[in-house]
Chains A and B, each alone.
Chain A
Amino acid sequence: MIENVDLSLVDWSRAQFALTAIYHWLFVPLTLGLSFIVAMMETIYVKTGKEEWKRMTRFWMTLFGINFAIGVATGIILEFEFGTNWSNYSWFVGDIFGAPLAIEGILAFFLESTFVAVMFFGWNKVSKKFHLASTWLVAIGANLSALWILVANAWMQNPVGMTFNPDTARNEMVNFWAVLFNPVAVDKFLHTIFSGFLLASVFVMGISAWFMLKKREEWLTKRSILIAAVFGLLSSLMVAFTGDMSAKTLAKVQPVKFAAMEALYDGSKDAGLVAFGVLKKSDEKILEKKEVKDFAMKIRIPGLLSIMTGGSRDVFVPGIRDLISYGDSVRNILSISEMMQRGLYAKEVLNDYKRAKMLNDKEQAEIIKNEYFGSRTFLEENFRYFGYAFLNSPEDAVPNVPVAFYTFHLMVMLGFFFILVCMIALFLLYRGSLQKNKWFLWVALLSIPLVYICSEAGWVTAEMGRQPWIIQDLMPVSVAVSQISPGAVMTTFILFAVLFTALLAAEVSIMVKQIKTGPKH
C-alpha cells in the first residue's frame, strides 16, 4: 500500500472525480424521470390516437434527447476514472466493484442505446406499438443502469459479501446476492430513482408553467402539468419514505456520517431532530485538531431523532465524540480508537504475511494464512477495520460537518417543499384555476433550479459525508489514489472543467431555445 501519498494528488483526484460526478448528476436524474413521463404521454397517444398527444410526446422527447447526450458523455468518464485516478482502489476491490459495472453495460446500456435510436428515428419506420415499446424500454434501461451503478456505490458505503485474499492483496466477492441486496443498495436505488422522477416532474411542471405565463399551448401544458404533478407527488412521497429508510440504515452502517449530518457531537437519549439550524465556530475541539461546530440557532423537534433511528424516545443516539471514544454498544459499533487498533493489527498481520512470502518462508506464510486469513474471526473482528490503520488520529474519521449538515438539511427542506408544490398544482388543476394563479406558476418555474440544487445536495451529503472513506472502514481515499503527478491531474481537472462548462452552456442554451420555440406543428 502506498504509505506516503502526496495530499495535493489526493485532493486533485478527488476534485476531478467530484467535478465529473456533479456534472454527470446534472443530467442523469432528468433522464431517469423524463423517460417515464414521455413513455406515459406516448401511451396515451397510442391509446387515443390523438395527434396532440404525439405532439406533446415529441416536444418532451426533444428535450430528453438534448439532455441524454451530455449525460452519456459525462458518464463514460466516471467509469474510466476509477481506473485512471483510483487504480489502487480498482485492484483492491475490483473483483466486487467491477461486476455491477459490467452488468450495467450488458443489461442496461445496450437496452437504452438500442431503443433510443428507435425512439428518435423510428417514428416513420416502425409500427406505433413497437415505437411505444421502445420508449418504455429506454426508460427501463435508464433506470436499470441506475440500479447497477448504485449497487456499486452502495457497496462502497457498506462493503458486504466479500472476503480478503492475502495472496492477491484484494477483496474478493463471495456472495453476489449480498452485494445486490445490500440494505444500502436497496435504499439508495429507490431513493435515487424516485428523486429523479421528482426532478423530472418539477422540470415538466416548471416549463409548462412558463408556457402558461406566456399564454401559449394551453391544452398541452395543462395535461403535461397534470401528468407531472401526479407522478411528482407519488415520487416525492416515496422520496420521503425511502429517505427515512436510508437514515435508519445509515445510523447503523455509517454512524459518523449520520452524526455529522445532524451536527451531533454529544449523543443522548430522547435526541431531537434539527429541522433547521445555523452553525457557528467555537473554541472547542473534538480531540485536538478538528473544531466542534456549535449552533448559532436551531429549530429542534424533541425526541424525533431517537424515534427515527430506534423507534423510541429512550433510544440513545451517539454523537461524533461518543463514536470516537465509546462507540455504540446497542448497535455493536466499536469506538474509532478501538477500530484503529484493530486496523493496525490487521495491517501488521498482512505485512508479516507478505514479508514471509518475500523471504520464501513458506512455513511461516502458511501459518499466518491459516491462523488469520483463514479465520472468520480475524476477518470480521480485525480486517474489516483495515482502513483505520491509515488514519493518524480518530478525528481523521470525521467528515466535514458543516458540509454534511447543510447539504443534508437543504435536501430535506427542499424535498418537503416539492411535496407541497405537487399538491398545490393538483389542487389548482382540480379547481380549474391554475392559470389564474400566476404566483404559483412562478413558483413552479423557479422550482426548476431548486430541484437541481436539492438533487446535487443529496449526493454531496452522501459522498462528502462518508469521507475519509472510499470504501467504508476498509480504504481511505488517500490510499486508493493512482500514482500520477498532481500536476497531471490538475491539468486534466482544468481540461474537464472547461469542456464540461462549455458543453453545459451549450446544453442549457439549446434547451432554452427549444422551449421558446415550443412544440412543432
Chain B
Amino acid sequence: MISYIFLQHYWWMIVSLLASLLVFLLFVQGGQTMIFRLPGNESQKTMIINTLGRKWEFTFTTLVTFGGAFFASFPLFYATSFGGAYWVWIAILFSFIIQAVAYEYRSKPANVLGKKTFDIFLYLNGALGPFLLGTAVATFFTGSYFSLNYMNNVLWATPFHGLEALLDGRNIALGLAVLFLAKTNGLLYIINSIEDEDLLIRARNKLIFNSIAFLAFFLIFLVSILLSKGFAVSGNGSIVMENFKYLHNLLQMPVVLVFFLAGVGSVLWGIGTSVFKGRRDSIWYTGAGTIAVVFSLFLIAGFNNTAFYPSIYDLNSSLTISKAASSKFTLTTMFYVSFIIPFVVAYIWYAWKSINNRKITEEEMKEDVHVY
C-alpha cells in the first residue's frame, strides 16, 4: 500500500524534476536575448533563431506541464500563488504568449507587425521569462505576503500582488542567476548546434561574461539563503523560523547534497571545457548540472519539514507539501499516470536526435525547409 506521505513527496519530486527541466530548456530564452548582439550578420541571426526555434515548443510545453502538474498535485499552491501574486504570473504569461507566435510569424510576408517587432518579442521573452520565473521561485525561500482564511481562500496582504517580491535582493539575485544561466546555456547550445566558425568565436567571447555573471548572482543567492532563517514545520505542525534551515536541509539530506554538489560541478565543468578546451558539446554537462542543481534546490525548499511556499505575513498560512497536496486518491491516480513519463522522455530523445543529426549551416537555411 502506497502511503499518502510517500505520494506527497513523490509528486514534489516530479514537480521539482519538471521545474529543473524547464530551467535547462530556458536555454531557448537565453539564446533569444542574444539575437541582436551575438550575430555578426543576418545569416548568422537566421541560423541562431532557427536553431533555438526548433526547440521553443519543448520549453513551452514543459512550462504548461509544470503548471498542470502543480495544479493537480498541489492545488493550494496553484490557488494561493497564482491568485495572489497576480502580476508576477501575468507578466510571465505575457512574455510567453509573445514568444509562441514570434518564431512562426517573424519572417512571413504580410505579418502586420514587422520582423523587428517579432524579434523584440523574442528578446523580451528571453529576458523577462527566466528573470521572472527565477524571482518567483526565490519566494519559495524568502516568503510572500498572504494569509488563508478558514476555507483556504487566499487574501494577499499587499496591493502589489506579487510585484513586492522585486524589493527583496535575494529574489532579484536568483532572477538574475536564472537569466544568466539561461544565457550561458543558450550560448553553449548555439556552440553545439551551429556550424559557423565566426559565430563560434563570438559565442565563446560572450560565454565568459555570462557565466561569471551567473556564478556571481547564484553565489549571492545561495549564501544568503543558506545563512538566513528558514521556514520550518515544528512538532505541533505550526511554522517557525529556524536559523540556517536550508543549510540544515542540505546537510540532513546527504543524497540531495551530493546531487547539488555534482550539479554545481557539472555546470562548472561544462563552462570550463567550453572556454578553456574549446569543446562543442559542453551544453550537455551544464544542462545535466542545471537539472541536478535546480532539482536539489526544490527538494531543499519542500522536504525535511519545510514550508515550500512560506508566508511572512502570516506564518501559519505557509504552505507545506502535506497541506497543499491533493487527496491521496488523486495523487495515487496521478502516480500511475506518471509511469508514462519515461516513455515520453524516450520519444522526445529519439525525435530530438533525429532532427539534430547534423549541425545547422547557412546552406540549410537556403534549402526548401520550414525556415523562421
B-binding residues in A (CB < 8 A): 1-2, 62, 65-66, 68-70, 72-77, 79-80, 82-88, 90-91, 94-99, 101-107, 109-118, 120-126, 130, 134, 165, 168-170, 172-174, 176, 354, 357-358, 482-485, 488, 492, 495, 499, 502-503, 505-507, 509-510, 512-514, 517, 520
Contact = CB atoms under 8 A, between A and B. Distances in A.
8 contacts: A70-B100, A72-B60, A76-B63, A80-B89, A83-B67, A84-B83, A110-B65, A358-B150
B167 interface: no
A191 to B, nearest CB: 24
Nearest to A508: B112
B333 to A, nearest CB: 5
Given A83-B81, A125-B355, A99 B333 contact: yes
Contacts of B84: 87, 482
B73 A98 contact: yes
Contact of B108 (A77, A95, A510, A520): A510
B1 interface: no
A98 B71 contact: yes
Given A73-B99, A506-B113, 17 more contacts: A69-B103, A79-B68, A83-B89, A95-B326, A98-B72, A101-B67, A105-B67, A105-B68, A110-B344, A124-B367, A125-B357, A126-B354, A483-B153, A483-B155, A484-B161, A495-B94, A510-B108
B334 A110 contact: no
B370 interface: yes
Interface residues of B, number: 77
Given A69-B100, A172-B327, A484-B161, A117 B351 contact: yes
B112 A509 contact: yes
B347 A506 contact: no
Nearest to A83: B82
Given A65-B104, A95-B330, A488-B86, A109 B79 contact: no
B326 to A, nearest CB: 5
Contacts of A113: 57-58, 60-61
Contact of B351 (A68, A115, A506, A513): A115
Given A76-B93, A106-B340, A506 B86 contact: no
A61 to B, nearest CB: 8
Interface in B227-241: none
A76 B112 contact: no
B340 A513 contact: no
A502 B105 CA distance: 12
Contacts of A95: 75, 326-327, 330
Contact of A94 (B60, B61, B71): B71
B78 interface: yes
The 10 lowest CB-CB distance pairs between A and B, nearest first, are: A87-B83, A94-B75, A83-B82, A105-B65, A98-B72, A73-B100, A98-B71, A102-B72, A513-B110, A482-B83
Interface in B62-98: 63-65, 67-69, 71-73, 75-76, 78-84, 86-87, 89-90, 93-94, 96-98
B152 A90 contact: no
A122 B369 CA distance: 9
Interface in B323-350: 326-327, 329-330, 333-334, 337-338, 340-341, 344, 347-348
Contacts of A502: 112-113
